[in-house]
Structure 1
Amino acid sequence: MKRGEKSVTTVCPVARSSEVVGDKWTTLVLREMYMGATRYEEILIQTEATPQMLATRLKALEADGMVERH
């Protein structure tokens, strides 16, 4: 499912989370953040993502309320 498309409303937290997370890159970004990475460069190195890919994922996570910029 593409971001922005409406889906069936569910009470299942796993299903709702998978709609927000959606792809492996976002999962890797969240993993690094939960492991303590707080700097863009740290996450970039550990995930081996491109700068554009990482920036896009972080902006989407921020828009969805999953992370907060400090």
Structure 2
Amino acid sequence: GVVKSLKVQFTKNDRIIWLLAASLWEYEQGLPILEELKKEYPRHKILLSFFSPSGYEVKKNASPAALTTYLPLDTPR
């Protein structure tokens, strides 16, 4: 459902800042940066992806990002 949720949340005209957190700890360390990016670029949408399923499960409904998703694969495709 990741691709479907991306298509619902974003259009090709959106300006997107994509942040990848490998873990919940990495997310917590980067949260101040995410919050500053939102202030600095208010017209951009923030996409937050997790490599860790445990991090995603904890923050999927409690993130300041426009969309928080789980992306277990990191490939060009």
- TM-score under structure 2 length normalisation: 0.29
Q: Which has the higher strand share?
A: 2
Whose radius of gyration is greater, 1 or 2?
1
Q: Which has the higher helix share?
A: 1
- TM-score under structure 1 length normalisation: 0.31
